[in-house]
Every structure is written in structure tokens, then in C-alpha cells.
Chains A and B, each alone.
Chain A
Amino acid sequence: MNRTVVDTSPAATPAAPSPSTTPKPPRRSRQIRSTTPSVTRKAQTRLGLVLVAPLMAMVVVFLIFPLGNALYYAFVDFNGINPQPPFVGLDNFVELFKDPSVWAALKNNVIWIVLGTIAPLVIGLGLALLVWGVPRGSLFYRIAFFFPYILPQVAVGVVWGWIYDPTRGWLNRGLELVGLGSLGTGWLGNPDTALYAVLGTAVWATAGFVFVILLSALRNVDTELVDASLLDGAGPMSRLRYVILPQIMPVFLMVTTITLVGGFSVFDIVFIMTGGGPAGATEVLGTYAYGNAFQLNRISYGTALALVLTLLAVPFAVWLNRLQRRLSLQGMGA
């Protein structure tokens, strides 16, 4: 949609024409109607249908159809075998509401969403501000900080498993080194710390994503304003608060949306590192839905959970998106 907000790197625009210098053509549909003869339009319609057909076939079969089925599953009692599962209405949702494990998992999701959104944002912004305006070596920093984000989560889980190892892991050894050895624990095995340990790993992996996006947003910031605020004697914090942040606000909100909404459907890293344990300490709605569907054969219950998960995330996405668009329209993103 508003690709222009973040597009700053030269690779963004295709090599040949530069859209920024050519005036925007009028809306496509009107153009076609007003200037092209009907023979051309017929040929275009035919080609359009041919080109879009395989895409739509895939989308309908592998997205729309299973989505419809998800709705159906949530209102019946399907165990994976019965070809004609009985209709149970809202029973699955009522059970969800009463299930204490769901509430415990939701609590973990909320912790994940709050900390897992704030921490990467703060770290990512900090890194981006540091790299911003560094004339040399920014490519190296970009690669170094973004790298964790593109690694497979299983690989990330393996390494952090070693770092958190109770006896010889780097974290406990590091704590001993600075005289805080008593704080050491089996990070992933201790119900009090497991969720935060996994969350820490996730923060490590996502901060780079926030960093890359915010850095490219910073490239659009009006440096004259920044210099002017320097002359006016603004301190670093007020400069950030009143000069820099407002200019990157739309992009900032967009990253917030992405990390926040991602917090609802977190699955991979938890599943890999702890599987929801110990004793449900890291259970999130995602792992709970998976366990119900594929380990307990409670297909319908798991599906209903997944649907609720999605419904919870939608209002946030819409709200933040609207906020972001309003700010972009006010020209703050430019």
C-alpha cells in the first residue's frame, strides 16, 4: 500500500524508469476505458483471466477452502476420523472460555506481546539511531544486526539452549564471572524463568528486523530539523522525542503492529525450545491449540482456539493500521 513510506534503498525502484520523476499516471481503470479500443480491452480481459487463473486456483484451494473448513470445524465435534461430525454450536467456544489452561496460555501470550513488542522496539530503535549517520561500515552493522532474524528458528533454539544450559551454559558462567553466580539457574527448566528465557531469544532474533526498518525510516528524516534543534540546544532525549520520533511515527507504528500481532500467533520458538513446558510455564495459545489438535485429536477444539487467536489479533491490527495511515496522510512519514 504505502510502500513509499519505507522505500529508501535504491534497490526499491526497478532499474529503468524512475517513478518519482515521472508524474503519476491517472488511475488504471479509467485510463483503459477512455483511451483503448474495445478490441484491445477484450484482449486484455482475456489475458487478465488467463494470468490470474492459476493464482486464484491456488488461493481458493489452499487458503479460502481450508479457512471455510476452519469455521465449520469450530462448530462441530471433529476427532479426525468421524466423516460426519455432530454439530455442537458454540460448545467449543464455551469450553474455551471455561478452560483454565486457555487463560494461563493467554496470560503468557499477553506477557509475550507486551515485552516481546517493547524490547525489540527499544533495542531496534537504539541500534538504528547508533548506525544512523555513520558514514562507513553501516553495511556490516546491517548484516550483523539483521542476521539473527533470517535464521531458522530451530537453529536459534539450539544455540540458545546451550547458552541457557544450567551447568556449563554461557549465561550462568557469565553471571559467575561478574560475581552473580547465585542468580544462575536452569533457565529453560525453571518454571519461573522459562517464559522469559524463550522471550529473550525471540527478542534477540527480532530486534534486527525492527532495526532495519527503522534505519531505513531514519534515512527519510529531515536532517535540517535535527540540526536546527541542535542549535536550539535540545538534548538528545528531547531531540528524539520531539524531532526524530514524530517523523518516523508511521513506520514505527507499522513495526509495532507487526511485532504485536506476531505475539498472538507465536509458536515455532516456544514449541522448539520448551514445547510449552515445564509444567505449562511457557504454554501459549498457539502451542495449546497445536497440542489439542495433533496430540489429543481434539481437532475442533484446536481449530476454535486458532480462530479465537486470530479474532483477538484483528482489532489491534486494524487500530494500529488506522493510526499509521492517519499519520502518513498528515505527511509525517515523508
Chain B
Amino acid sequence: MSTSGTTLRPSRQALLGGRHFVLVLLSLLMLFPLVLVVSTALKTGDDVRSNPFGLFSSISADNLVTAWTVGSFGDYVLNSFLLSVPSTVLVVVLSTLGGYAFARLPFPGRSIAFYLVVLGLLVPFFTYMIPLYFQLRGMGLLNTLVGANLVLASTGLSFGTFFIRAFFTDLPTEIEEAARIDGASEWQIFRSVMLPLVSSGAGALAVFTFLQNWNNFLVPLLYLPGGQYRPLTTGLYLFLGGRSVDIGPLAAGTLITILPVMVLFIALQRQVTQGFLSGAVKG
């Protein structure tokens, strides 16, 4: 913390090296719990028993196999995808359509409708999750993939609409006017001219929403109590609750749960950060 200058002078080279040293050390400290998961997941059974929380001394896939088969993490993975993909598609599609309407099209009740959408940004899910349980039960959607997907999607729609709307608002009017003069219909203007211009925004929203839905714990906990569609998050929680369970398979289950998140984040780091950054500024 001692130096925070931004220009490099020869005398600062040494300081910079020191700073890198500190940063690498801190990175390792931050990533240590992750190292712990990976190393425990890859241990042999004996290694886990003799040294449960230490780093690994031998590599084996036993724990992963156990988690996948005995711990039914294979099913959980499938359910996680069945809960994250449709809800994400729903959020991106509805937010893009709505975001365009709010940014570019006049229609009666537009400002009231927008207030209703923005309400979702102000009110935490917590406030209405209990009535929602009975509402879903009444609709026959409790314990169904459809119900859980709809709820997951609804929790992301307010932010999604807000996010995409900003992209559409930033586009210059000249583009759409040129298309109109060329005889394009309003739908064609939206579909062929404006939509492609916000694809990077929609992509960032998709990655961000997918991560949110994949990580969501409360929605499957509340609205999928039956267990047949249990995703990784609540599955891992259940596994954690069974205290007698071996640490090895638990670590393997944890690794299976975070692996897609890790891959997605490292591959699309910029989009993820961007989604969170813009999400933060929504208030």
C-alpha cells in the first residue's frame, strides 16, 4: 500500500517488483481455499483418512467417481444445467425485447411498466419468497423444473432489462432513421439493425445470469423440496449435512460444483466482470 503512483520512473522499478511480490502472495492467500478443494478432491482414500485437511500427497480419481455415482452428483450436474440454461435464455430474450421497447419505442403505460420492472431491483427476493411458495403451490408449479426456471428468470429480469436498455439507449438515432428511410418495418429495424449492435451486451448478460442461476441456493431449496430436480448447490448442501460423509467425496462434489463456474469465469472473465460492474451501478 505504500506506493500508489501510476507513472514509472527508473527508481520505482524496484518498488514495483516488491509490489508484485506482495500481490502474488495475496493472490495465493485468496486462492488457497480453492487449492484445498482441488487437492482434497484428488487425494486417495488413505491420504484423506490420515491427513483430511492437508494438501495431497498422491493423486486419484476415486473421490470424483464416488461423488459422481454414490453422491449422485452426476444427476445434480444435469439438474443444474436444466435449471440454469432455460432460465438464462428466458432472461436474455425477455430483457432484450423489453429493454428495446423501454429504450426506443413509445407505448401507453411505458413509465408505469418501467417502474414495476425497477421495483425488482429495489426489493430483495427475500421480501416475497414466502408468499411465492404458496403461489407456486397453488399454480401446481412447486417441485417442477418449469416453476423453478420461471422463478429464477424472474429474479434476473429487472436487472437484465435495465442492463440491456442502457445499451439500446446509447445507440445513435441516425441508424434507425436510415433504415426507416430504406423502407424497413419497425420489427426489421429491431431485428436486423438494432439487435446485432447490442449482442456484446446480451452476451455479458447471459454469462452473468448463468452464473447467478447456477449458484442460486435459495430458489431450489424452497421451490424444489421434493429432491428429484435437485441441482448442485442444494445437493452439495445435503451432502454437507450428512456429517458422516467422507471429506474426500465432499471435496470432489465441491469441485464438480465449482468447475463450470471456474471454466466460464476464466474463459469469459471480462464479460463476467462487466456484468457485475454494471449490475453494481444499477441503483
Interface residues of A (CB under 8 A from B): 1-3, 5-7, 9, 11-17, 19, 22, 25, 28-29, 31-32, 35, 40-41, 43-49, 51-52, 54-56, 58-67, 69-70, 72-73, 80, 126-127, 129-135, 137, 139-163, 165, 168-170, 204, 208-209, 212-213, 216, 223, 226-227, 230, 236, 239-240, 244, 254-255, 257-258, 264-265, 267-268, 272, 286, 289, 293-294, 299, 302-303, 306-307, 309-310, 313-314, 317, 321
Q: How far is the CB of B272 from chain A (nearest CB, A)?
A: 7
Give the dominant DSSP class at B's interface: helix
Q: Is the CB of B33 within 8 A of A150?
A: no
Mask, B70-90, CB within 8 Å of A = 1, is 000000000000000000001
- Is B126 in contact with A141, judged by CB distance below 8 angstroms? no
Report the minimal beta-carbon distance from A40 to chain B, rounded to whole angstroms: 7
CB neighbours (8 Å) of B46 from chain A are none
Question: For residue B277, which residues in chain A have a CB less than 8 angstroms away from its CB?
Answer: 6-7, 9, 12, 212-213, 216
**Quick check: A140 and B218 within 8 Å, CB to CB?**
no
Q: Is the CB of A165 within 8 A of B53?
A: yes
**Cβ of A163: which chain B residues have Cβ within 8 Å of it?**
33, 36, 53
Specify which chain B residues have a CB less than 8 angstroms from the CB of A223 in the assembled complex.
6-7
Interface residues contributed by chain B, number (CB under 8 Å): 120
Please give the distance in Å from B26's CB to the nearest CB on chain A.
Answer: 7
The smallest beta-carbon distance between A278 and chain B, in angstroms, is 15
CB distance from A262 to the nearest CB of B (A): 9
| B278 cross-chain contacts in A, Cβ below 8 A | 3, 6-7, 12
Contact for A58 among B154, B258, B262, CB less than 8 A: B154
- When A and B form their complex, what is the total count of cross-chain residue pairs whose Cβ atoms lie within 8 Å? 346
Contacts of A306 in B (CB 8 A): 126-130
Q: Which of B208-243 contact A (CB under 8 A)?
A: 211, 214-215, 217-218, 222, 232-234, 236-237, 240
B140 adjacent to chain A (CB < 8 Å):
no
CB neighbours (8 Å) of A145 from chain B are 26-27, 30
> A168 to B53, alpha carbons, bound, how many Å?
7
User: Which B residues are CB-close (under 8 A) to A73?
Assistant: 130-131
Known: A212-B277, A236-B2. A32 touches B106 (CB 8 A): yes
Q: Which 6 A-B pairs have the closest CB atoms?
A: A48-B105, A48-B107, A62-B154, A55-B98, A69-B131, A144-B27
Choose from A12, A51, A126 the contact partner of B100 (Cβ within 8 Å). A51
Q: How far, in angstroms, from A309 to B107 measured CA to CA in the complex?
A: 36
Q: Say yes or no: B186 contacts A44, CB within 8 Å.
A: yes
B26: which A residues are within 8 A, CB to CB? 127, 130, 145
| A133 & B6 in contact (Cβ 8 Å cutoff) | yes
Closest-by-CB residue of B relative to A25 is: B173
B42 within 8 A of A: no
> Which residues from A are CB-within-8-Å of B187?
47
> CB distance B53 to A162 under 8 Å?
yes
Q: Which residues of B contact A216 (CB under 8 A)?
A: 277
Q: Nearest residue in A to B247 (C-beta to C-beta)? A: A162
Q: Is B143 an interface residue (CB 8 A)?
A: no
Taking a contact as CB atoms closer than 8 A, the residue among A11, A150, A170, A268 that contacts B217 in the complex is A268
Contact A17 B171 (CB under 8 A): yes
Q: A48-B110, A154-B240, A159-B33 are in contact. Are A310 and B124 (CB under 8 A)?
A: yes
Known: A152-B233, A154-B257. A227 touches B5 (CB 8 A): yes
With a cutoff of 8 Å between Cβ atoms, the chain A residues found around residue B240 in the complex are 154, 157-158, 161, 272
A170 to nearest B CB, angstroms? 6
Asked if B167 lies at the interface with its beta carbon under 8 angstroms from chain A, I say yes
A77 to B283, alpha carbons, bound, how many Å? 34
Task: Contact check, A147 vs B4: say whether CB atoms are below 8 A apart.
Answer: no
B65 at the interface (CB under 8 A from A): no
Please tell me if the beta carbons of A55 and B5 are within 8 angstroms of each other in the complex: no
Q: Measured between C-beta atoms, what is the minimum distance from B38 to chain A in Å?
A: 10
Q: Which residues of B contact A52 (CB under 8 A)?
A: 97-98, 101-102, 107, 110, 113
A234 to chain B, nearest CB (A): 11
Q: How far is the CA of A160 from the CA of B250 in the complex (A)?
A: 13
The verdict on A155 contacting B276 (CB below 8 Å), with A310-B123, A317-B122 known, is no
- A129 and B171 contact, CB distance less than 8 A: no
C-alpha gap A41/B19 in the complex (Å): 59
Q: Is the CB of B105 within 8 A of A47?
A: yes
Binary CB contact string for chain B from 99 to 134 against chain A (1 if under 8 A, 0 otherwise): 011111111101001001101101110111111111
CA–CA, A136 and B85, complex, Å: 36
**Closest CB in chain B relative to A187 CB, distance in Å:** 13
* Partner among A62, A155, A254 whose Cβ is within 8 Å of the Cβ of B283: A254
Residue among B4, B222, B262, B270 with max Cβ neighbours from chain A (10 Å): B4
Report Cα–Cα, A97/B113, bound state, in Å: 36
**Which A residues are CB-close (under 8 A) to B258?**
151-152, 155
B126 touches A132 (CB 8 A): no
Complex Cα gap A151–B258 (Å): 7
Contact between chains at A141 and B23 (CB < 8 Å)? yes
Task: Kindly state the separation between the CA atoms of A286 and B281 in the bound complex, as whole angstroms.
Answer: 25
A-contact 0/1 string along B246-265, CB 8 Å cutoff: 01001100100110011001
A293 vs B131: C-alpha distance when bound (angstroms): 10
B95: chain A residues within 8 A (beta carbon) = 55
